Amino acid sequence: MTTRITIAAGDIRIGDFIYNGLGTSKHPTDAWEAITQVNTVDGLIQLITGRLDTPHGEFWFEPDEPVVVVRHPPPEPEPVIAKPHRKHGHGH
């Protein structure tokens, strides 16, 4: 399950999704883009969506400016399965 949250721009992480306008489709999630880079430039937060060597989105915020992002929860750790210990003993 994803969570839409409002956080300070300085707390945004790579992998969060930011809303980028109306999108080109009627589907509302098409305008959410994954953040691939978070930079601090002259005291401002620069968010990059997409790769730098291709057309990408760029957003600028004050560090404490509220921003709505979609954040996926971290994956749950895989359960530890106890493995039986085989003893190589000598029968008497």
92 residues of the chain, pLDDT tens digit each: 668 999 999 999 999 999 887 656 665 556 889 999 999 999 999 999 987 777 788 999 999 999 999 998 777 777 777 776 666 666 55
Q: Going by CATH, does the domain composed of 3-71 fall within 2.30.30.30?
A: yes
Q: pTM of the entire structure? A: 0.69
Taking CA atoms, 45 is separated from 12, 39, 52, 86, in Å, by 9, 6, 16, 56
Residue in this structure with the two tokens 């968010």, named with its chain if needed: 47
- Give the Cβ contact number of residue 23 at 10 Å: 14
Q: Rounded CA gap, 36 and 69, in Å?
A: 13
Q: Where are the domains of the chain?
A: 3-71
Q: Rounded CA gap, 17 and 30, in Å?
A: 11
